[in-house]
Chains A and B, each alone.
Chain A
Amino acid sequence: MTRSLRSVLLVGALLLLPVLAARPAVAAPEGTLTWAVHISLAPTFFDPAETPGLITPFMVLYAMHDAVAKPMPGQAFAPSLAESWSLSKDGLTWEFVLRKSVRFHNGDVMTAEDVKFSFERYRGSGAKLLKEKVAGVDVVEPHRVRFRLKRPWPDFMTFYATPATGAAWVVPKKYVEKVGDEGFKKAPVGAGPYKFGAFRPGVDLVLEAHEGYWRKSPNVKTLVLKVIPDEATRLAALKRGEVDIAYSITGPLAEELKRTPGLLLKPTYMPFTSWLVPVDQWDPKSPWHDRRVRLAANLAVDREGINQASYLGLAKVASSMIPSQMEYFWQPPPPKYDPAQAKKLLTEAGYPSGFEAGELSGDMIYGSAIGEPAVNYLNAVGIRVRLRLMERAAYYTEYGEKKLRGVLYTGSAAFGNAATRLENYVIGGGRYVYGSHPDMDGLFAEQANETNTRVRQQLLTKIQQMAHERLLFIPVMETAFLNGVGPRAEVHGLNVIPGFAYSAPYEDLKIKKK
């Protein structure tokens, strides 16, 4: 299709638009869908530049904004505001061809300037990394933009176009410059399928359909995200039909949800693994120093039992502390549950009647779902640990300062790839690393400078194998995020985009006709 023909069609379409609108619209958005959200929504969620490296803001971003490219159903990097992109042969330039005729909610046309502006303005998580790697952004044409890298960087799209950062999400340059950052958070304007309606901090966020959304006009007219911090209350609201979708319902409440006729239990999966780490393994005097003891602990925990009890069997048993969907993931053999063997190993290690293993510390939010049963299992084979659940802030602060002893229960849903996980938890100098093996540190340094993806894959695999063999961790679970769906939501958007926890894409959602 030549450019001129396309513009003719476009003009034609624009001319037709009032005509179409005048007819009893078949697809005019109608109705309201309401969510019960588990955390407080913050105005920072309205501005992609502030994306803090948590998944939660994307709950709002997917509605209000759009990205150059973003994960969509079936596609890790789906062309969105960009129709296509290409990487130059030298691996130094990414060129994006932007969709024309995309308009922001205020009517401004989206251009390459906006993409450049949004990237440069980005100051959320990973901003430093991106800016180190990217030499500059050039506007080639109004709808063509180039990212120049300092050195070839195979992970560029992983960081640019996934929830790892919010740099690809585009805000209207003119508008932002006019109203400023503060004004933008009060009255955000984006290119997403839903417009900002109203926001009451701690109460709710109302979004209205943006009928001119490029991909399609949304089916549902109004979206309401209600903040309900207590999960029992969220379930009550769902049961009463006050909300149509309730996020984060766990344990017995999830069972009740499953039992309730008319309600649907729907898991979503984030790159979220949880594991135990005996940090005392680095103390030669500790029983945990003995690999056999760690192996015994690994065999003592019935992960499937925990899965059934806490996640209704909807989570996945983890074999590694790196999420299986992550890039460079190596799949270790699945863990076994064998308490008899565990006891035997303990006897071999010189603890026939078990040993006092100190405390098992954990963050109170996830602690009771996994920590409590884990402690139960460890005690059952004679590894006598006491659970110590700590307030989240205190726990991570002390963990970071390496003040905690014994065994730690932890988990992470940070985006990135196997390398970023290893860096934080395995490699010497990492934030949560009590001790490390020099050979692994060496391999890691090697891969960091490696541009060849295959070689890098090999190196990272090697490190993961070593971590597995040396039993640095006792992986427990790839956690599921359980949600409830009420009878009104025909298309709920849950678990449609891999690795995304919330409802999306919003423009596809549909209310059941009576």
Chain B
Amino acid sequence: MSASPATPTATTGTLAGWLPKLRTEGLPLVPIGILVVLAFLAIFAELIAPYNPEIGSLSQRFKPPAWVAGGSTEYLLGTDHIGRDVLSRLIFGARVSMVVGFMAVFIAGVVGSTLGILSGYLGGWVDQVIMRVTDTWLALPGLTFAIFLAAIVGPSEWNIVIILGSVYWTRYARVIRGEVLSLRERDFVRLAIVAGCSKWTIMRRHLLPNVANTAIVLATLMLGVVVVSEAALSFLGVGVPPPKPAWGLMLADGKKGLMAGYWWLTVFPGVCIVLLVLAANLLGDWLRVKFDPQLRQL
């Protein structure tokens, strides 16, 4: 089996190693397409959205989508409980949800990876302190923690980012630490030590690029978890504060309408969340197989 391409070679572990590969090996076009479209909506929301997403008129409430009896082309996807245009809210919601999702994952990733590298490489008391804190954090149910944080910092879009980021960094810390523990024993790290590189240089120049793959794959998977958690926080009433349009909030707000036949209030944001999470996960699975088919920590 020595000629099998599945065998990881020395180069697959580095950033430089996979970049050209991404081009050559068949890209998952559908997930990338979805992400690009959503990003486009998020960036150009002002230009695309037909209405102000935060202001509606009570007289126009619960209008169904255009193709349903009673709907009009004025509101393509209908209106919500205070008469706001669902389409406009979805478009702006792409911005809020993606910003919340990506930023939370970014924060979790930066904090978790940093701690994971420090913990795994330095070992000793640093490892002890970081791992004990991580254990404690893990033992605290994530959403419980989120509710308390929400109560402390108060609700706002950015606070949700901070909350979700600080709930989910532990996943990174543990996985990255595990990765570093095995990297530490590899030749190139040993060589770097022998060559007299400082600890910081080794962590920055040798370990960081090598855990980047794992961190990126983890990020795509975490994005889904974070976006769904954002919705759960809204369900519990401590999510992105209304009237901001966030998909999770729309879903939680619209859940009452579901039983009342106003299906468009939850189906559209629900579909958006599903698309985003699915796309991120499919991309993540693809990347995971690309980087390391045997990677099992995720």
Contacts and interface: CB of A to CB of B under 8 A. Distances in A.
Indicate if A touches B (C-beta under 8 A).
Answer: yes
B243 A393 contact: no
Interface in B34-88: 54-56, 58-59, 61-62, 81-82
Contact of B237 (A364, A380, A387): A364
Contacts of A251: 81, 256
Contacts of B152: 394
A380 B58 CA distance: 12
B262 A252 contact: yes
Contacts of B242: 367-368, 372, 387, 389
B181 interface: no
Interface residues of A, number: 33
Binding site secondary structure of chain A:
helix
B260 A306 contact: no
B10 interface: no
Interface string A355-372: 000000000110110001
A267 interface: no
B168 to A, nearest CB: 20
Interface in A366-421: 367-368, 372-373, 375-376, 379-380, 386-391, 393-394
A308 B256 contact: no
B255 interface: yes
Contact of B259 (A232, A372, A375): A232
Interface string B237-266: 110011100000000010111111110000
B237 A232 contact: no
Contact of A375 (B61, B243, B261): B243
Given A232-B256, A364-B238, A252 B81 contact: yes
B194 interface: no
Given A309-B61, A376-B82, A376-B243, A391 B260 contact: no
A391 B238 contact: yes
Contacts of B58: 302, 305-306, 308-309, 373, 376
A349 interface: no
A389 B55 contact: no
Interface string B116-140: 0000000000000000000000000
The size class of the interface chain B forms with chain A is 20 to 34
Interface string B148-191: 00111011100000000000000000000000000000000000
A406 B150 CA distance: 20
A389 B155 contact: yes
B154 A387 contact: no
Contacts of A376: 55-56, 58, 82, 243
B256 A388 contact: no
B82 A372 contact: yes
B275 interface: no
Nearest to B261: A256
B151 A232 contact: no
A369 B114 CA distance: 44
Interface string B197-214: 000000000000000000
A308 B241 CA distance: 24
Contacts of A364: 237-238
Contact of B243 (A235, A252, A256, A387): A387
A236 interface: yes
B147 interface: yes
B81 A309 contact: yes
Contacts of B243: 372, 375-376, 387
A414 to B, nearest CB: 22
B82 A252 contact: no
Contact of B151 (A372, A379, A387, A391): A391
17 contacts: A235-B259, A236-B259, A251-B81, A252-B260, A253-B256, A309-B58, A309-B82, A364-B238, A365-B237, A368-B242, A376-B56, A376-B58, A379-B54, A387-B243, A388-B156, A389-B237, A391-B238
Interface of B: 54-56, 58-59, 61-62, 81-82, 147, 150-152, 154-156, 237-238, 241-243, 253, 255-262
Instruction: Report, nearest first, the 9 A-B pairs whose CB atoms are least far apart.
Output: A256-B260, A394-B151, A364-B237, A252-B260, A252-B257, A305-B58, A232-B259, A253-B256, A391-B151
Interface of A: 231-232, 235-236, 250-253, 255-256, 302, 305-306, 308-309, 364-365, 367-368, 372-373, 375-376, 379-380, 386-391, 393-394
